[in-house]
Structure 1
Amino acid sequence: MIKRLFSEGFRIFFLAACLFALAAMGQWEAYLGVEAAGGWGALPAAQAPHIWHAHEMIFGYGAATLGGFFLTAVPNWTGAKGAAQRFIALAFLVWLAGRLAMWGGASLPPVLVAAADLAFLPVLAAKIAAQLLARPKPQQLIFLLALGFLWTANLFCHLEWLGLLSDGVEQGLRAGLLTLIAMIVILGGRVTPGFTRNAMAASGREDRLPQNPKALAILSIAPALALPPVVLVGLPELIIGALAILAGAAALARLTLWRSAWTVRRPILWTLHLSYGLTGAGLLAFGLASLNIGSEIAALHLLGIGAVGGMTLSVLSRATLGHTGRPLVAPTAVTVAYVLMPLAALLRYLGGALPALHTPATLVAGGLWIAAFALVLAALIPAWLLPRAPVGRPAP
């Protein structure tokens, strides 16, 4: 079973992502609960609790989902041989070392914490670069650029913690989240209409299929991908806001062409559409907040929970089912999780926008996040641990 867990990247990294999502959010909920009860909460991390929470959701959970996705998808894109078990195990241990270093950072030298936390993305990027360069395509090589942005954003955080940069954490966290959002704009913009078109064609439908105009795709991807470096170099908020609004508006415009209504009875599809819609809405909210219209904290959580949380759950569940030979039909527990995630995003958005609701909305949103991942973990752990379902037979 252990060998099987490391036989394919999605198995260990999607399992690790779900477990970490539960553990990290559980710790954050416990801290907030103690604070709300009038106590004094503390974590063994070197950073303030809210900084640790934000960092680990982006560079811990986010990086794990990227590891599972890219180690599985890139060999399919290029025809290259998948990563060996030893590499997958090594990459996982490097990721885990970063999480442990961040958790116990108060007792460790900051340079050691930085080295451990910054090691995973270069390891992942080196492997997928070797696979992508076997059959280089510009639309795929762009992910190496995005991984570079994500690593640089994390570097900015550690440079401040090392005392080498005066204001790196705020920029690094924002740029890191926006890099994940840019990847969703790119990848979600491919798979959402593509999977929908395939399902419609399989049902016998030949007309009014999803459309994905190249010009509109570029109009959403270019500003979304420009946002992380623009934030890191500290360009004016007016530019940041304009880019985010353009990317969000273009993303929502694309969504209107993807026949979302047709997917209502197919949770494995509508969750992609809903998560992409929340990505566009979150970018609009972030852009407006950059122009002093609305709450930036609310907008960032709409992006973090609704876009990143929603889309990663959508993709990891579909990829797990597909790559283990199981039917592409979301189990009931996973469908419930698809519903809980946008509800958590909405509640946390209200908690950021309305100060009177901040504590209860934040706690309930965190509880919904935990419930969603617990359901997904319970439903999919057999797929990660057990052999592929026999061809032609329903999955157990």
Structure 2
Amino acid sequence: MGHIFDQGFRPFFLLAGLWGGLTVPLWLASHGGIVEIAPAYGDRNWHAHELLFGYAATAVAGFLLTAIPNWTGRLPVKGWPLAALAGIWVAGRVAMLSAGAIGLVAAAISDLAFLGALIAIAIREIIRGHNWRNLVVIGLVVLLFIANTLFHVSVATGAQPDFALRMAIATFIMLIVLIGGRIVPSFTRNWLAKRGSKPPASFGRIDRIAMVASALALVTWVTMPFATSTATLAAVASLALLLRLARWRGWATFREPLLLVLHLGYLFVPLGFLAIAAGPWAAVPNGSVIHLWTVGAIGTITLAVMTRASLGHTGRMLTASSVTTVLYAAMIGAALLRALAPVTTIYAELLLLSAAAWSAALLGFAVAFWPVLTGPRRVATA
């Protein structure tokens, strides 16, 4: 454990795996009346909040704290400052569970402190490093903070926080569209170049159209989720994203699951838009749309990035072991089962299978990568 606070990805990827894997069984136990969890929020709202702001935001924090030194050329946040940030995260999780005892205002302040501190650190590093290009990424994290604030305000005023949750989901999807649009073709290009294969297409008009169409469709989905105009914009975004993804030549990476999973995870973004586009005519359940994005896109991409970054930044081979490949399969299986569950007659059974696969993927990551995240860096071999 002596190296856990050497770099941002170490504590936050480990915390993301552990908490993400435990949150779903805790929610199911609460939903089934076995235990009582966060009654001040309700098990459904607590479940949604903790998977978005407890799990996904933590994975984003690990990525940002590792990427920002590369963007700026500055030393990474580590040691006691990093430990303090992790402590703020832990305090937020405890506060969300004990809101009934400490009050909703105290719980909200404690929970919001993590993203607030992360944003302050990120802005400081971006400004000092004069890395203005990536301020847009920090801007999206600010939107996550606003969405989290709206969640707490909604709960405190007795309203359902659906708008805030859609805003958070949309922001995570836009982060995937933006950051995924950088790293997926870049990693693919490097891998294919070593094998003398044709590289992915360079950034161009299709990419710009896909990003703008995605942003517009997400804004309308947040504000008017069931409108025909939203479905139309979602159809355009889905088509543009599929064209963008095809140009990255993901099919040529099938021999390396560490890379292929990034393409498969990104595929869930246009699939979610496609489900929205089909909604007014095919009566696609809202739950299917949400879980194509939350479990499929967010879950798969975060797991893919956590495994790859953990290996790469600790000097290990950039290749997926058989165990890691099983973790990817479990996450993708969880997404497909959860998206299909609302349109079948065995909803409860598929829900349980999906939950088990989700938890197996993330807890499996925490166990398998524990030595990687807590141990010393190796001399790079690849």
Question: Which of 348, 354, 362 in structure 2 is aligned with 1:365?
Answer: 354
Is the contact made by 1:6 and 1:89 (CA closer than 8 Å) also made in structure 2? yes
Is the contact made by 1:268 and 1:329 (CA closer than 8 Å) also made in structure 2? yes
Deviation at 1:173, TM superposition (A): 0.7
In the alignment, which residue of structure 2 is the partner of 1:247? 237
Check 1:157–1:136 CA distance in 2 against 1; reply closer, same or farther (3 A cut): same
Deviation at 1:13, TM superposition (A): 0.1
Is the contact made by 1:149 and 1:229 (CA closer than 8 Å) also made in structure 2? no
Question: Which of 175, 178, 199 in structure 2 is aligned with 1:183?
Answer: 175
Residues in 2 aligned to 1:176 and 1:341: alpha-carbon distance in whole angstroms: 21
Question: Which of 265, 274, 289 in structure 1 is aligned with 2:255?
Answer: 265
Is the contact made by 2:12 and 2:86 (CA closer than 8 Å) also made in structure 1? yes
After superposition, the C-alpha distances for 1:72-95 in whole angstroms (9 at most, x for unaligned) are: 001111212211322211111111
Check 1:212–1:53 CA distance in 2 against 1; reply closer, same or farther (3 A cut): farther
TM-score (norm 2): 0.93
State the AA in 1 paired with 2:209: L
Deviation at 1:134, TM superposition (A): 3.4
1:8 matched to 2:7: yes
Question: Which of 363, 371, 376 in structure 2 is aligned with 1:387?
Answer: 376
1:127 matched to 2:121: yes
Check 1:284–1:236 CA distance in 2 against 1; reply closer, same or farther (3 A cut): closer
In the alignment, which residue of structure 2 is the partner of 1:72? 66
Q: Which runs of 5+ in 1 are unaligned?
A: none
Is the contact made by 1:324 and 1:389 (CA closer than 8 Å) also made in structure 2? yes
Is the contact made by 1:290 and 1:296 (CA closer than 8 Å) also made in structure 2? no
Residues in 2 aligned to 1:227 and 1:149: alpha-carbon distance in whole angstroms: 16
Is the contact made by 2:71 and 2:131 (CA closer than 8 Å) also made in structure 1? no
Check 1:289–1:150 CA distance in 2 against 1; reply closer, same or farther (3 A cut): farther
1:204 matched to 2:199: no
Question: Which of 320, 323, 326 in structure 1 is aligned with 2:310?
Answer: 320
1:346 matched to 2:340: no
Check 1:104–1:254 CA distance in 2 against 1; reply closer, same or farther (3 A cut): same
Is the contact made by 1:178 and 1:224 (CA closer than 8 Å) also made in structure 2? no
TM-score (norm 1): 0.90
Residues in 2 aligned to 1:233 and 1:341: alpha-carbon distance in whole angstroms: 29
Is the contact made by 2:317 and 2:380 (CA closer than 8 Å) also made in structure 1? no
Deviation at 1:290, TM superposition (A): 6.7
How many residues are treated as equivalent by the alignment?
382
Q: Which runs of 5+ in 2 are unaligned?
A: none
After superposition, the C-alpha distances for 1:17-56 in whole angstroms (9 at most, x for unaligned) are: 0000121112123335xx3xxx565323411111111111
Deviation at 1:343, TM superposition (A): 1.0
In the alignment, which residue of structure 2 is the partner of 1:19? 18
Check 1:359–1:307 CA distance in 2 against 1; reply closer, same or farther (3 A cut): same
Check 1:291–1:58 CA distance in 2 against 1; reply closer, same or farther (3 A cut): farther
1:294 matched to 2:284: yes
Check 1:391–1:347 CA distance in 2 against 1; reply closer, same or farther (3 A cut): closer
Check 1:117–1:240 CA distance in 2 against 1; reply closer, same or farther (3 A cut): farther
1 or 2 for the larger relative contact order (CA 8 Å, sep ≥6)? 2
After superposition, the C-alpha distances for 1:304-337 in whole angstroms (9 at most, x for unaligned) are: 1110000000001000000000000112111111
Residues in 1 aligned to 2:223 and 2:102: alpha-carbon distance in whole angstroms: 29
After superposition, the C-alpha distances for 1:125-150 in whole angstroms (9 at most, x for unaligned) are: 11111222234455411112111111
3-state secondary structure, aligned to 2:372: helix
Deviation at 1:119, TM superposition (A): 1.2
Is the contact made by 1:331 and 1:379 (CA closer than 8 Å) also made in structure 2? no
After superposition, the C-alpha distances for 1:199-237 in whole angstroms (9 at most, x for unaligned) are: 1111233xx310143322222222434456556656873
Is the contact made by 2:238 and 2:274 (CA closer than 8 Å) also made in structure 1? yes
Q: CA RMSD, aligned part only?
A: 2.1
Residues in 2 aligned to 1:102 and 1:282: alpha-carbon distance in whole angstroms: 29
